[in-house]
Structure 1
Amino acid sequence: MNGIDAILEKKVVEDGIDVRSDLAPKSVKEALDRYFPNHRNWDLGDFRRQQARDLQIVASGPRRDTSLLIYDNGIGQAPRDFPNTFLSLLRGNKNDVHFVQGKYNMGGAGAIAFCGDLRYQLVASKRFDGKSPLGFTLLRRHPPKLAEAAGKKNTWYEYLVFGDGVASVDVDKLDLGLEGRKFKNGSLLKLYSYRLPEGARSIISRDLNVSLNEYLFEPALPFLTVDNNERYPDNRAPITAVYGLKRRLEADKETIEAKFSETSSTAEFGEMNVTTYVFKALSRDTVKETKQYIQREYFKNNMTVLFSLNGQVQGHYTSEFVTRSLKMPLLKDYLLIHVDCTNLHLEVRNELFMASRDRLKASETAEALRRHLRELLSTGELKDIAKRRKASLTIGSEDTGQMLRDLTRNLPMNDALTKILQQTFQLSVQKPGEAPKKERQDEERPKREPRETTPFDPKRYPSTFQVRGGDGKQGDIKLFKLPMGGTRTISFATDVENEYFDRSDDPGDLRLSVLQQGRSAGTGGPLAAPSQQSDLLDLRRSNPADGTIKIGLKASSQMNVGDTIEIRASLSSPAGDLVETVLVQLTDPERKTIEPQPEPTPPLGIPDLVLCSRDGANNTKAWDELALAGLQMDFDVVVYPFVEEDKLSRIYINLDSGVLRDFKSGNRSADAIELAERRYVSTIYFHTLFLFATTKSRKYVVMRGQNDLDMVDVEIADYVSDLFTSSYAQFLLSFDTSELIEAIG
């Protein structure tokens, strides 16, 4: 990121502009548009590779002791300026340069802790104008033994000087193994014996690139990773251009099921753009292979929700956000959410991000933003996708319900057992002598005939933009009433393609502005002009969806009942912006009528039993049906506990598992096989139930990994399912308690 900053600074200085003046670009995007007018053509391989040569990461040394050289063809520094640039910490030397990313003044110092046991790092730079020599210095951790001998409790980092400054040498060119060029000017950072993670110690153009793409969701400039065939003789692509996860996702049509975005603009947070990518549940031969591919290519660092500034990820949530906040467990392995925080209020960003950029701060602002993000994503298209996947898991026939009743009829339920189960399930306990409650059957409702619709024919650029609906007109402008404390959605018809706002190549935009305001009678004076529209309204804008763009509105505390504001919506187009104007009037709060709710069906008491088989025979759930929802069933899977709303709602048991097949192999008669199957179902069901209930009620946290650095949280349902996949299920079926008691006696 510092290399990207340096290249942008060089462009501004070459243009004769002071980087801190009002003439300099005000953002990274403005700098790109001004100095790289063709930057959207970086989807083209040759164009991207040519630009990427200005920023390179070059690997060298033995495979198990890799050193990395980071090069940029940027502004460079004179030797005398090293102490105030490369070698300064926490001085905020870029705070008043608005078009760069670096704000925390950590620079390469953040990487030195990973430079082998001795912590050596080389910094070299030559000013782009050639008016000063090449300066260089060596950074290291002060040897701990020398620090102890000097009576110091802690060691420190230091850099090499000769006399009053860093070393310098007159040099024209250097051959450093860069792709396509020799070093003339710019900056170099050499990280010796860099400790790459276990999964990234292969050729850097493969595994390391996956992480680089993940953390640099949309870098301002592309760059190269350069390895060589001396280190990896059999590799055919040692040099790769990296240009961010966003473009990789857009190119992966085989794996992505849906992509949509929403922009939220509020007085509390500022503007936040949220893009959601939903992966197909079955894009490879099996669900297992699909999950492995998605994890390997897009979730290497277990980041499900990415928060970025100017394309660089600053913090993240794991998949727990999907299961616990969104309550969409079927999507936890198939959802990637990007939150662009570039236009959030400065004070919000300061309360959200840390200088280390490795996690979010634990603050009230961060918690409020999490709640706001949950509200944004819990409705609309994502909710519909979650419903469709859940529909693939519909419970089978009444036979399984009857089997479960037979199994639980004589289940002893003492107080301690009931207490544990009630923490996990909605348990209905029948009192002694009480008649069992009857289950209520929902009445059949007549189905409506689906309406015939004309297929949507999207265009690359919009030619129409018209507001729909309304509650009347004032003059020629449509009026929409917004209840105090409530929300209102305004829909616009258009003919542009769904990806118009989000595509990397020539995206469009929808701009909203408040033109004029009017106070209601008796409130005193005109409504003050806002500094931006979010002062009066919290706005939520969706991307086009098959010909419709929706805007959600909610009034801020600055508005009173009767106030009217005029809003202009402008949809960009190469032929000229398409404009619609609407009026929004704040009305009294809506009175909610409480409708009588039908009596809920009494719960069976414990999770539903769903029997599964390979082909769906005998009213069981077929493996292929479960795969549509992203649930893996094969010969190795015994059981899967399905958690919904933080409760264990269903237990899927596989009747075609290898465990049951082996267990039944010694039985010959039909009665013996049926008995074996019922024992299998009852044993697996109740062990799953109590393992889940006990683990959750005792508040255990399950983790998995090769070492402390690789440890990740594991959902209890996944843990229980994996437990049965091993020999545990075979042990339960083969173990006979009565024989053990007899042997002990």
Structure 2
Amino acid sequence: MLAACSAEDVAAILADEDLSYDFNQPENWKPYGNREKNWDTVGNQQSSPVGALTELITNGIDAILLRKAREHGITDFRSPEAPQSMFEAVKRYFPHVVEGKISNLSAKQRTDLAEKCLLVGVKRAARVNSIYPTYTVVDFGDGQKPEDFPKTFLSLSEKNKEGIPFVQGKFNMGSTGSLRFCTRSDIRLGHYKFIISKRPDCDYWGWTLIRVRGPKPGEQLPVAEYFSPGMVPRFRDEVMSAFGRHDLGQVESGTIIKLYEFDIGHGAYTVDFGLRDALDVNLIDCALPIRTYDFDAKPQETKGPLRAAGIAASTFSGLSVTVGASEIPDDGENNVDEGDNQQANEGSWTHHVATINEPDLGRIKILAIGIKKMKDSLASRQTARVFYTVNGQTQACERSSFLNSRANYGDLRNHLLVNVVCDDMDKSAMATIFMPDRERKANNKMARMLEEMVIEALKLDEKLRAFANEIRLSRAKEYTSEKEESADLLKDLAKADPAIKELFGLGVLLPEITKTPGGVKVWDQGKKFPTFIEPLNLKKENDRYVKDIPINGYRRIECGTDAEDGYLSRKDSPGTPWSSLDIKALAWKASLRSGTATFTITAPANAVEGDTIDAEFGFTDEGANPEPLKFAVTIRFIAEEKTNVNPKSPPTKTKEDEKKNLGMPHFEWVGKTEWSEHGFDEQSGAYVSSGEETNVYINRDNRFLELMRVSERDEAERTIKESMFKLGLGIFALSIHRKATEKAKEENYDGTDPEEFVKLATGAMAAHIITVIRHLGAGVRK
């Protein structure tokens, strides 16, 4: 079974004349989870094959941490003596990993660690252009005794890891999600999955084969079952060779899982980089690194003995490491790491946006990763820009349109990744918001509250606004002449048709785009560990700071500090916002920028005028401030703020005001070389990016426009038709975007995605836009 590489290979083993008798006995196959009716659970896991594979990998990391805890004398994994988080477990059991973050290791150190923890082998069946790799996942973790297989590997809804704070698994169902994607996602081929495992203190290896059979007469659904002739089969052996090589994958104890011809999905099946690129958006921060071996790589004699043998070896440590990784030259040894031989993410940085403490949600930390030039594999994957993570694993994510339509950062849709760290979220809130498949959020009030908190924090962040302006400025320099020509024509159109003028109201007038962004302080000072934090906007009463907060509002406390800007977001010894209050007592958030720490405090719903709360706020870290660096304040609730019930009449608009309100959109061509950045292909038409200014991006190399260029010999006519395509499709995109955005707001953004809707509509219209404009124009002239 370890040597098998396809569904046909497994079928041949089962049909072998020496083995077929046992495999053909129905009583030797037991229902998975001891449930005759189990497909409603087994088949209702992850919809994404990459997510299902990620579950197996995180289960392997769990097994390694459990083994280490056992070896260090922890007998009760749920006790206070056990690590209280995954990263604490890594810090305790792998002392060389500073602060339990593998991002603090060098590339070589991560590779050395990965080879001792978790391996993934990739091999494809011997057929032309195979898109179904067979994956062998190896962990050097706790393993299982053969007699324990039914209540661990082969169980459903058991509480094996529930309540253990330093592992990821909670529901005891995630690993079954991989079954439906095995054997080319074809149930007729069996959905085979092979497991072999051994506990370090056990003499026997246990193994079983899992399959999914079709429903028998009287059954409505398929049934997942495993091979167990009386008991789970067992045997003695010192070492198992997971990959069939003496120099790789030699396993003395732990677990080996094999997924035959796994339907991993488009792009992810490619040799060498496919798996790593696929894992990027599912594992933002890995607790432990993963070593991958693709056995189908093209041999290259100059890249060491493995690559000469056609094996591409690399180390994956999570998206945050991939994004920040430097290019590592291949020196012929087995230390290829993140970023090697792939397009790097140029000019990346990590920024702490805010740490938010909300009584109902718990603590949320928002980190932004800015990228000057995003690598193609990420840029082309428009479905993932904002990640909600727990222990580094994605629980749900937001599309690039979330940044565009809701956070008003259209300019950053391919320059920004956001990690919403939910490790310290309230457990009830976490269960309410995130679905067990770790792919999506529920559509409920609490999930929407989280979204709005993230949107507000992003919108208010000064550094992100400056970054958006920087990206907009750099892009503007490339299109200045085209924009001027388009703007003149658009102004003429606006004069001719008031409806178009109203449509252009989507935009907002900005300072001249050619001007350098202003008003942003450059803070190149600050210390790694701050030495003071002093309130700037508080008054003192009886020698104590006091802050008045309306019972229906919030107030900010600004403090001077000598903390460097990266203090709250860096990988090495980051600081943490701190308060003396219980998280249920008061909602507050903290941010740091240019020597100013801002603590925003919101009055609770049950606040009563005249009540006070004594509190302390500040920072703590594992460097100079193990004890909080803090200040004390008395929070006093005052009468609610009154809204103006008789607002003044709006001033009369002048012609200059009307001119300013005409936020002229910029119509920009997107060439084939930029398709990945905009999520385009040859069929794509256009879409609208709505940030502080409105940009409409039109596909210059749309296949129908290309056909026109080939067939139209007259250069002047060709130029006119290109302008018709650009402006006609652009105005069409603006109109649809406006209506789709209104619809999305009505639906609380549950369903209609304005950006995708516009792309779909303009893609369909691209084939006809020139003809429509030509014929309508001719009709008007007649």
- The bucket for the TM-score relative to the shorter chain is 0.7 to 0.9
* Matching of residue 259 in structure 1 with residue 351 in structure 2: yes
* Matching of residue 173 in structure 1 with residue 228 in structure 2: no
Match of 1:45 among 107, 110, 113: 107
Deviation at 1:737, TM superposition (A): 6.7
Match of 1:563 among 608, 611, 614: 611
Aligned to 2:267, the other structure's residue is in SS state: helix
> Distance in 1 between the 2:565 and 2:379 partners?
23
> Distance in 1 between the 2:180 and 2:440 partners?
18
> Distance in 1 between the 2:452 and 2:718 partners?
49
The answer to whether the 8 A contact 2:522-2:594 is kept is no
> Distance in 1 between the 2:571 and 2:110 partners?
13
* Matching of residue 227 in structure 1 with residue 294 in structure 2: yes
| Other-structure match for 2:633 | 582
Q: What are the within-5 Å matches in structure 2 for residues 47-62 of structure 1?
A: 47-53=109-115, 54-62=117-125
The answer to whether the 8 A contact 1:465-1:492 is kept is yes
Number of equivalences: 647
The answer to whether the 8 A contact 2:552-2:603 is kept is yes
Alignment CA distance shift 1:132-1:261 (3 Å): farther
Deviations 1:134-164 (CA, angstroms, capped at 9, x unpaired): 111111112x2xx44x44222201111122x
> Distance in 2 between the 1:249 and 1:261 partners?
18
Aligned to 1:69, the other structure's residue is in SS state: strand
The answer to whether the 8 A contact 2:501-2:662 is kept is no
| Other-structure match for 1:520 | none
Letter in 2 for 1:471: K
Q: Bigger CA drift: 385-394 or 154-163?
A: 385-394
Aligned to 2:366, the other structure's residue is in SS state: strand
| Other-structure match for 2:457 | 376
Deviation at 1:265, TM superposition (A): 0.6
* Matching of residue 324 in structure 1 with residue 405 in structure 2: yes
Q: Bigger CA drift: 22-31 or 263-272?
A: 22-31
Match of 1:693 among 719, 735, 742: 735
> Distance in 1 between the 2:740 and 2:378 partners?
35
| Other-structure match for 2:196 | 124
Alignment CA distance shift 1:422-1:118 (3 Å): farther
* Matching of residue 15 in structure 1 with residue 68 in structure 2: no
* Matching of residue 196 in structure 1 with residue 245 in structure 2: no
Aligned to 2:280, the other structure's residue is in SS state: helix
The answer to whether the 8 A contact 1:651-1:685 is kept is no
The answer to whether the 8 A contact 2:686-2:733 is kept is no
The answer to whether the 8 A contact 2:407-2:455 is kept is yes
Letter in 2 for 1:272: I
Alignment CA distance shift 1:253-1:86 (3 Å): closer
> Distance in 2 between the 1:536 and 1:643 partners?
40
The answer to whether the 8 A contact 1:424-1:647 is kept is no
* Matching of residue 238 in structure 1 with residue 312 in structure 2: yes
Deviation at 1:169, TM superposition (A): 0.2
| Other-structure match for 2:91 | 33
Alignment CA distance shift 1:74-1:554 (3 Å): same
Q: What are the within-5 Å matches in structure 2 for residues 263-302 of structure 1?
A: 263-280=355-372, 283=373, 293-297=374-378, 300=381, 302=383
Match of 2:425 among 335, 339, 344: 344
Letter in 2 for 1:62: A
Q: What are the within-5 Å matches in structure 2 for residues 62-461 of structure 1?
A: 62=125, 64=130, 65-116=132-183, 117-129=189-201, 131-142=202-213, 144=214, 147-148=215-216, 150-163=217-230, 165-177=231-243, 182-203=250-271, 205-228=272-295, 231-234=297-300, 236=307, 238-251=312-325, 254-256=346-348, 259-280=351-372, 283=373, 293-297=374-378, 300=381, 302-381=383-462, 382-386=464-468, 404=490, 406-407=492-493, 456-461=524-529
| Other-structure match for 1:529 | none
Q: What are the within-5 Å matches in structure 2 for residues 694-709 of structure 1?
A: none
> Distance in 1 between the 2:198 and 2:382 partners?
35
Alignment CA distance shift 1:586-1:37 (3 Å): farther
Deviations 1:263-307 (CA, angstroms, capped at 9, x unpaired): 111112111111122333xx4xxxxxxxxx544146647211111
Cα RMSD, aligned residues only: 4.7
Alignment CA distance shift 1:599-1:641 (3 Å): farther
Deviation at 1:495, TM superposition (A): 2.5
Alignment CA distance shift 1:355-1:650 (3 Å): closer
| Other-structure match for 2:31 | none
The answer to whether the 8 A contact 1:62-1:231 is kept is no
Aligned to 2:566, the other structure's residue is in SS state: coil
Deviations 1:659-706 (CA, angstroms, capped at 9, x unpaired): 999999858xxxxx7x9988975785456435653687599999xxxx
Q: Bigger CA drift: 111-120 or 368-377?
A: 368-377
Letter in 1 for 2:524: F
> Distance in 1 between the 2:422 and 2:574 partners?
18
Deviation at 1:426, TM superposition (A): 6.1
The answer to whether the 8 A contact 1:247-1:504 is kept is no
Deviation at 1:220, TM superposition (A): 1.1
Task: Give the gaps of 5 or more residues in structure 1.
Answer: 284-292, 428-440, 515-531, 615-622, 668-672, 703-711
Deviation at 1:718, TM superposition (A): 4.7
Letter in 2 for 1:343: D
Percent of pairs with identical residues: 24
The answer to whether the 8 A contact 2:174-2:437 is kept is no
Alignment CA distance shift 1:213-1:666 (3 Å): closer
> Distance in 2 between the 1:307 and 1:604 partners?
42
Task: Give the gaps of 5 or more residues in structure 2.
Answer: 1-57, 184-188, 326-343, 745-752
> Distance in 2 between the 1:741 and 1:469 partners?
67
Structure number with the higher helix fraction is: 2
> Distance in 1 between the 2:694 and 2:378 partners?
31
Alignment CA distance shift 1:47-1:467 (3 Å): same
Letter in 2 for 1:599: T
The answer to whether the 8 A contact 2:138-2:242 is kept is no
> Distance in 1 between the 2:166 and 2:251 partners?
26
Greater C-alpha Rg: 1
> Distance in 1 between the 2:81 and 2:667 partners?
67
> Distance in 2 between the 1:690 and 1:297 partners?
28
- TM-score, normalization by structure 1: 0.74
The answer to whether the 8 A contact 1:259-1:276 is kept is yes
> Distance in 2 between the 1:69 and 1:720 partners?
43
Deviation at 1:641, TM superposition (A): 6.5
Deviation at 1:72, TM superposition (A): 0.9
Alignment CA distance shift 1:113-1:423 (3 Å): farther
